[in-house]
Structure formats: structure tokens, C-alpha cells
Amino acid sequence: MTVTRRKQVVWWLRGAALAAFLVYLPGYLSSQQGGLVKVERWLNHPVLLLGTAVTLAVASAVAQFEFRTRWAQIGCAAVLSPLLVVGAAVGALAYVFGGDGRLVDSRPEPNRADHVLNITDLAFSIDPVYRVELVSGTGWSARHWSLGTWGEEEGFLRAEWTGPGRITVTLEHEVRVYTVDEDGTLGGPSVTPKPAWPLQ
């Protein structure tokens, strides 16, 4: 491989690595409070996209070295090929099986179909881990706010609308009340501890 050709390959690999990182960036930003739901769903795949970026960056670092002998070229190919194959396999499996969890319950706000309370089970095991989330808006403009993530061992009991613009999350030892503004922005919580034993 000529010096010019090798430089072209190195910069192509680096450009592809940068592109994978830039594709992931809006997905990461959309995973934060108030982020766009569909952008997060499509682009927030760190194992796939960041793994691809790192793999391509390593490949570019190796490719910039000059391997003059046939054995050096074979050794380079022997190192890079498994790296690329394993990276692609891990990324593909993460994309297919990563998922967003299993939707357990979805309830629109009374008199507001564009404010929806979602409860999702994120666990891969039999012990559930519940993510409670508010989705405001529809289509590509829909945004999400996380109320929290709790497992059964943390005392999660239920999450529900308890009035217009009001969400109550009941845990074993406390009650959290959130407010929802007209534009769908989440406020709160107001936390009230529950008695350690039932009052007589």
C-alpha cells in the first residue's frame, strides 16, 4: 500500500469514527430530561455507536503504521480482522437486545391525551425494575421526563394520575407528588414520608 493510499484509509477510518460519535451525540442529549423521545429511541445506543467509533479509531491508529514485509501485513490483518468482527457483533447484539424494556402500563392524563404516564419494566431477570416516565406531546415533538427508577426491593408500589397535572408515585416508605405544567414540563417532587406502621 502506498503512503498516499494508507493516509487516505487512515483519514477515512477517523472520519467514520467521528461520524459514529456525532450520530450518538443527539441520542445521548435526548436521553436527558425533556429530550425528544424518538431521537433517543433511534440514536441512544452507546454500545453500538461508541463501540464503532472506538473500533474505527483503533483501526486507524494501526493502519497508519507501515508494514513492509508480507508477515507484518498478515499480522496486521490478523489483529484488525477479529477486532472489527467482534466489535460489529457486540454492537449488533446490543442494538437488537438492548431495547427499551417492557411497557407495563400507559395512562394518559385525565382530559389531556398528549400527557402520558408510562411505567416500563427494564429488568432482564424475574425481579422487576420499574422506570416511571412522563411523555408530553406527540410524534417527533414528544418529550420525556423521568420520575425515577425503582425495583420491588426499593418498595415501589404504583404510579398514577391523581388529578389534572398531578402524578403520585407511592413507595413503601414515602409518597412522591409531581406536578405537570400545561406545556408538559415536569415539576416536583414533593416527598411525604409514610408512617413506619399503620396508625390506629
177 and 193 Cβ atoms separated by less than 8 Å: no
- Residue 197: is its pLDDT beyond 90? no
Question: What is the DSSP secondary structure assignment for residue 142, as one 8-state letter?
Answer: -
45 and 63 Cβ atoms separated by less than 8 Å: no
Return the closest-CA partner of residue 130 out of 94, 157, 107, 99.
Answer: 157
Q: Return mean pLDDT, the chain.
A: 83
pLDDT score, position 171: 92
Average pLDDT of span 106-130: 89
pLDDT score, position 91: 60
Neighbours of 130 (CB within 10 A): 24
pLDDT in tens, 44-77: 888 888 888 888 888 787 777 665 566 666 666 6
pLDDT score, position 145: 94
pLDDT in tens, 18-36: 999 999 999 999 999 999 9
pLDDT score, position 66: 63
pLDDT in tens, 84-102: 676 666 666 555 555 567 8
pLDDT in tens, 126-143: 788 999 999 999 999 999
